[in-house]
């Protein structure tokens, strides 16, 4: 299962370079050939270095942060001798001047979600001149096939002009290469701003960003990893990426009513972001989505330490029973029943039957085997 | 998506407990080993105290809790990236033990250092810590300054050191950027003045400690000598009258330094030259030649202990000694009566003028007598109601001033002046009572025991500070520690043999370390803080510079007056 694979990959040296392989580049140069990139659409997570992208990705995708994730850097590439690509395994090896071989995963991001989306992290406007140059030279490749651009701004940054400048150059590249991409701007680290000032500062930034982004449309969120805003922002992003979400919600409601559940949630598989949910009565805890997501991601991390992968969970007590299980190829479902007299087997059979129905729903939406379509 | 924007920021929602049976959750597993499948459950006995009415954790707090748990799994323990910063974590007094069932328990005393002691206990602890051996020199100090001047100086010094102590207490609150909860005053000095501040505060702190230890050694030799002499005389039924000036009644008061031109001498002259046994005793039990050395055998081993926590149990002896001294002085005053005459400028045969130019000697002694600035922060940390800190500190200072005034005035006033000049008041006022006096014998015994238990504590403090800063390790090796102890003990012995003027030692070391901790650092850090806040006004600047000059003048005048 791809979950366990990606967990295992995470635990190794995460020294994958953040260089986007392009098609058809000759070997021996600084490009790589990658099979089957045509199908994958990218989610670009960009922002100044130090704005919190790595932590954000780690939290949302339950990646263990190996802090040594520095880019290759000029020093290693200087000693780069030859370049080999093992296309079937989608890895490549570098042999440096001393004869040491280093193997890197081309899919350096390790994270795929919503079917065919691949997350790429880029530091925009960093100090590293090597990366700057590479970024500029490979710009078109980087910005091709982009589905979503998520740009992260550090609210405490002192160089607003520079930030906006980099943001605009990214937008230009998007306009040229992927004009249909959705743009999201996250104003991050809001916990460092005093509470009474947060709304004001965010509104200011939002206006500026909206203005600068024309003719493209951007949605802005204010986020912080220390409250629920990060999860909500990413859930909103994911929600907007699903084209048939209303239909999904209708079906979910039918499902819930048929099986007499209190609440049914649909999670995205990799991130446990809530795609949609239906509740038939008022729930007390407004933070429950994020809490469940964190609990399950933590559990997944524990499972991966044992080289096991999380598949399903049942929690019962005298007041309720909750079932978390794989649903479709991109989603998990959570069913909460408050009638504990209904045996588990009945609910599990219901979930299994619903699974077939929802998978058909996904496939109906187009020739591509993914939830997302253009 | 649901709109979850309006969260209550309260951590606890007082609510009726819906859990009728807050026991372990029912599990519908068919498991043979049910215990292994039981969920996490806190035994009620492990919880120290429960707030009345079980309160539920708010959703916001439990979400934060889950978040922090999850983030901590994402990085290595060494990585600081995902550690919750202070401004998102609730304050220590708002932290609860959270049971997964949703109930929250507050553990009493969980927040370390907050609020265990009532005001009364805090005041008593401050008073107890400040009451040192300088109490024995206060009457001499009053004598040196003149009676009226002495009283005024005691009150004024009390107020001045109180203000500086208040500045010390407030100094931590002026630092907002760093976590200061474990900081003591030397750390604040280091923050403001860099490593110069750190080393100078270390130096001055050592000056006060080693000065105190030398004084202790001198006093201990003195008391041990007198105790030994009393016991010897008691056993051999010797009615010993020293050939020193003394009053001839049932409450003898002696003037040991009368025949020696004002220099206190540790030899006592006994005119029993034809008794060889006594002469032998005299030879082997001499205040300045042998007794200080006997103490080495007693105390040097004690100094080498790694942790003197055993000795801190005897802290109560200090209070008992002071209370007994007060009782003793009162009794003597009742018996001796008051002998006061007021001559303003000219000394007479028996009395000293009211205003004398040697008053800096009193200020020097008082600087050490009112010195607590290097540990006041720690003492006030445990105060239950932190907002009463200043009030409690002021009350403690007032009590200390009253105690000093009481003892000083009574001893001075009751000193029998017609036969003996007031100038006879010794630097250690117990020296004015002969060794045969039972009451002062008891006082000496108390003080001897108290000092013997405090001495290793002082040695430990000096060792921790010096070795900790110089070598980085509190106990680098027995060799280092032994050398240090030898030096300290050696200094004490030398002083006891050749210069046993505790008044002198106290005033020099007091003025020196007071210069830094009492006068200069508090004022200077306050001026710097105001300057950074741009609230520095001319009156404040002048006032604090004046305080600093006073401290400097205090030190310099010790050498001239």
% pLDDT > 70, chain A: 68
A318 and B25 within 8 Å at the Cβ level: the answer is: yes
Residue of A nearest to B68 (CA): A226
Interface test with A, best of B67, B78, B84 (most A CBs within 10 A): B67
Would you list the domain boundaries of chain A? 39-73+103-240, 245-362
Domain-terminating residue out of B73, B106, B139: B106
pLDDT digits (tens, 9 = 90+) for A308-341: 888 888 988 888 899 999 988 888 899 998 887 8
Domain co-membership, B131 together with B74: no
**What is the predicted pLDDT for the residue at B80?**
66
CATH number at residue B171: 1.20.1740.10
Nearest to B367 by CA among B196, B552, B148: B552
Within-domain flag for B39: no
pLDDT of residue A13 exceeding 60: no
Domain that holds residue B520: 119-254+280-558
End-to-end CA distance of chain B: 83
Overall pTM surpassing 0.80 (yes/no)? no
Residue B69 at interface with chain A, using a CB cutoff of 8 Å = yes
**What is the predicted pLDDT for the residue at A141?**
76
CATH 3.30.450.190 is the classification of domain A245-362: yes
Instruction: Report the DSSP pairing between strands A146-154 and A182-188.
Output: parallel
**What is the predicted pLDDT for the residue at B406?**
93
Domain co-membership, B96 together with B192: no
**Residues facing A123 on adjacent strands:** A47
* CA pair distance B527, B525, nearest whole angstrom: 5
Burial grade of B155 (CB within 10 A; 0-12, 13-18, 19 or more)? middle
Judge whether A262 and A322 are in contact, CB under 8 Å.
no
Find the mean pLDDT for residues A107-115. Answer: 58
**What is the predicted pLDDT for the residue at B241?**
59
Residue A226 at interface with chain B, using a CB cutoff of 8 Å = yes
Q: What is the mean pLDDT of chain A?
A: 73
Number of domains in chain B: 2
* CA pair distance B106, B389, nearest whole angstrom: 25
Of B59, B66, B85, the CB nearest to A295: B66
- Of the two residues A68 and B431, the one the predictor is more confident about is B431
Find the mean pLDDT for residues A271-286. Answer: 83
Question: How far A259 CA sits from the closest chain B CA (Å)?
Answer: 21
Q: Residue B546 has which token pair? A: 């004046």
* CA pair distance B462, B210, nearest whole angstrom: 7
**What is the predicted pLDDT for the residue at A125?**
58
Residue B84 at interface with chain A, using a CB cutoff of 8 Å = yes
pLDDT of residue A208 exceeding 80: yes
**What is the predicted pLDDT for the residue at B280?**
77
Within-domain flag for B21: no
Residues of B in contact with A191 (CB under 8 A): 85, 87-88
Least confident of A153-157, A169-173, B1-5, B418-422: B1-5
pLDDT digits (tens, 9 = 90+) for B59-69: 777 788 788 88
| Architecture per CATH, A39-73+103-240 | 3-Layer(aba) Sandwich (3.40)
Nearest to A293 by CA among A269, A263, A273, A321: A273
Give the E-state strand segments of A209-368 in sequence order.
218-222, 263-268, 274-279, 313-316, 321-326, 331-337
Within-domain flag for B273: no
Domain co-membership, B66 together with B213: no
Within-domain flag for B384: yes
Question: pLDDT grade, residue A99 (50/70/90)?
Answer: low
Judge whether A144 and A177 are in contact, CB under 8 Å.
yes
Burial grade of A244 (CB within 10 A; 0-12, 13-18, 19 or more)? middle
Residue A285 at interface with chain B, using a CB cutoff of 8 Å = yes
Question: pLDDT grade, residue A22 (50/70/90)?
Answer: very low
**Residues facing A152 on adjacent strands:** A47, A186
Domain co-membership, B354 together with B463: yes
A286 and B4 within 8 Å at the Cβ level: the answer is: yes
Q: Which residues of chain B have pLDDT under 50?
A: 1-50, 52, 109-113, 260-274
Domain co-membership, B134 together with B238: yes
pLDDT digits (tens, 9 = 90+) for B174-183: 776 666 666 7
**What is the predicted pLDDT for the residue at B77?**
64
pLDDT of residue A159 exceeding 50: yes
For every residue of A122-137, DSSP letters joined together read EESS-S-HHHHHHHHH
Q: Residue A24 has which token pair? A: 């058809």
- Of the two residues B43 and A66, the one the predictor is more confident about is A66
Q: Which helix (H) or strand (E) holds A42?
A: strand A41-47
Measured N-to-C along each axis, helices A229-241 and A288-305 cross at an angle, to the nearest 10 degrees, of 90
* CA pair distance B363, A126, nearest whole angstrom: 63
Domain-terminating residue out of B106, B136, B171: B106
């Amino acid at each position: 299962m791809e979950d366990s694979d990606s967990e295992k990959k995470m635990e190794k040296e995460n020294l994958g370079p953040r260089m986007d392989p392009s098609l058809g580049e000759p070997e021996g140069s600084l490009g790589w050939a990658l099979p089957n990139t045509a199908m994958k659409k990218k989610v670009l997570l960009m922002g100044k270095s130090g704005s919190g992208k790595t932590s954000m990705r780690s939290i949302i995708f339950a990646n263990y942060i190996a802090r040594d994730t520095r880019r290759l850097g000029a020093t290693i590439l200087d000693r780069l001798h030859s370049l080999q690509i093992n296309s079937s395994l989608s890895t490549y090896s570098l042999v440096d001047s001393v004869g040491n071989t280093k193997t890197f995963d081309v899919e350096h991001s390790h994270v795929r979600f919503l079917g065919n989306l691949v997350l790429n992290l880029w530091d925009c406007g960093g100090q590293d001149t090597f990366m700057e140059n590479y970024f500029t030279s490979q710009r078109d490749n980087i910005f091709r096939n982009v589905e979503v651009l998520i740009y992260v701004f550090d609210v405490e940054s002192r160089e607003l002009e520079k930030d906006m400048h980099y943001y605009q150059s990214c937008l230009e590249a998007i306009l040229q290469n992927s004009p249909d991409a959705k743009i999201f701007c996250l104003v991050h680290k809001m916990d460092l701003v005093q509470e009474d000032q947060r709304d004001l500062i965010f509104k200011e930034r939002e206006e500026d960003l909206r203005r600068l982004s024309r003719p493209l449309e951007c949605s802005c969120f204010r986020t912080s990893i220390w409250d629920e805003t990060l999860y909500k922002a990413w859930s909103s992003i994911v929600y907007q990426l699903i084209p048939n979400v209303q239909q999904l919600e209708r079906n979910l409601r039918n499902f819930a009513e048929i099986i007499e559940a209190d609440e049914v949630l649909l999670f995205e598989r990799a991130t446990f972001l809530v795609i949609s949910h239906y509740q038939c009565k008022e729930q007390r805890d407004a933070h429950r989505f994020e809490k469940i997501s964190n609990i399950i991601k933590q559990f997944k991390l524990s499972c991966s330490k044992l080289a096991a992968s999380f598949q399903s969970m049942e929690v019962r007590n005298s007041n309720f029973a909750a079932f978390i299980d794989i649903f479709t190829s991109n989603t998990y479902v959570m069913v909460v029943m408050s009638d504990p007299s209904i045996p588990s087997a009945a609910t599990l059979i219901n979930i299994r039957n619903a699974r077939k129905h929802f998978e058909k729903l996904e496939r109906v939406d187009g020739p591509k085997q993914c939830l997302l379509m253009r | 998506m649901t709109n979850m924007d309006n969260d209550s920021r309260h951590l606890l929602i007082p609510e009726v407990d819906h859990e009728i049976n807050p026991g372990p959750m029912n599990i519908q597993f068919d498991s043979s080993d049910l215990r292994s499948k039981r969920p996490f459950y806190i035994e009620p006995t492990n919880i120290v105290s429960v707030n009345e009415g079980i309160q539920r954790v708010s959703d916001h707090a439990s979400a934060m809790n889950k978040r922090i748990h999850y983030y901590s799994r994402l990085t290595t323990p060494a990585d600081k990236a995902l550690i919750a910063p202070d401004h998102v974590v609730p304050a220590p007094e708002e932290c609860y033990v959270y049971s997964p069932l949703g109930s929250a328990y507050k553990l009493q005393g969980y927040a370390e250092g907050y609020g265990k002691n009532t005001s009364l206990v805090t005041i008593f602890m401050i008073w107890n810590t400040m009451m040192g051996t300088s109490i024995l020199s206060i009457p001499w100090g009053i004598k040196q300054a003149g009676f009226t001047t002495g009283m005024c100086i005691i009150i004024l010094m009390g107020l001045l050191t109180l203000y500086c102590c208040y500045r010390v207490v407030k100094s931590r609150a002026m630092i907002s950027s760093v976590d200061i909860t474990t900081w003591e005053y030397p750390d604040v000095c280091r923050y403001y003045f860099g490593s110069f501040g750190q080393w100078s505060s270390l130096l001055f702190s050592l000056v006060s400690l080693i000065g105190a230890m030398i004084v202790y050694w001198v006093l201990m030799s003195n008391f041990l000598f007198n105790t030994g002499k009393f016991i010897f005389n008691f056993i051999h039924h010797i009615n010993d009258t020293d050939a020193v000036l003394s009053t001839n009644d049932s409450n003898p008061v002696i003037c040991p330094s009368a025949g020696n031109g004002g220099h206190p001498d540790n030899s006592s002259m006994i005119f029993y030259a034809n008794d060889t046994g006594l002469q032998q005793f005299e030879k082997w039990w001499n205040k300045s030649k042998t007794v200080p050395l006997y103490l080495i055998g007693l105390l040097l081993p004690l100094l080498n202990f790694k942790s003197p926590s055993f000795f801190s149990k005897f802290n109560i002896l200090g209070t008992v000694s002071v209370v007994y001294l007060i009782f003793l002085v009162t009794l003597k005053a009742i018996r001796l009566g008051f002998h006061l005459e007021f001559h303003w400028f000219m000394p007479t045969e028996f009395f000293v003028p009211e205003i004398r130019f040697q008053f800096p000697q009193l200020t020097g002694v008082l600087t050490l007598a009112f010195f607590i600035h290097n540990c006041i922060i720690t003492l006030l940390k445990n105060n239950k109601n932190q907002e009463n800190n200043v009030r409690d500190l002021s009350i403690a200072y007032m009590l200390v001033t009253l105690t000093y005034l009481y003892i000083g005035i009574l001893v001075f006033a009751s000193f029998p002046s017609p036969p003996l000049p007031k100038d006879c008041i010794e630097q250690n006022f117990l020296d004015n009572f002969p060794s045969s006096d039972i009451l002062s014998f008891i006082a000496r015994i108390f003080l001897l025991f108290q000092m013997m238990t405090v001495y290793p504590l002082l040695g430990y403090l000096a060792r921790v500070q010096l070795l900790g800063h110089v070598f980085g390790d509190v106990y680098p090796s027995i060799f280092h520690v032994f050398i240090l102890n030898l030096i300290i003990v050696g200094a004490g012995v030398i002083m006891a043999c050749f210069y046993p003027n505790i008044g002198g030692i106290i005033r020099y070391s007091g003025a020196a370390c007071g210069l830094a901790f009492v006068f200069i650092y508090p004022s200077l850090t306050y001026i710097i803080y105001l300057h950074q806040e741009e609230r520095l006004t001319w009156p404040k600047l002048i006032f604090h510079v004046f305080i600093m000059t006073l401290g400097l003048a205090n030190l310099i005048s010790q050498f001239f007056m």
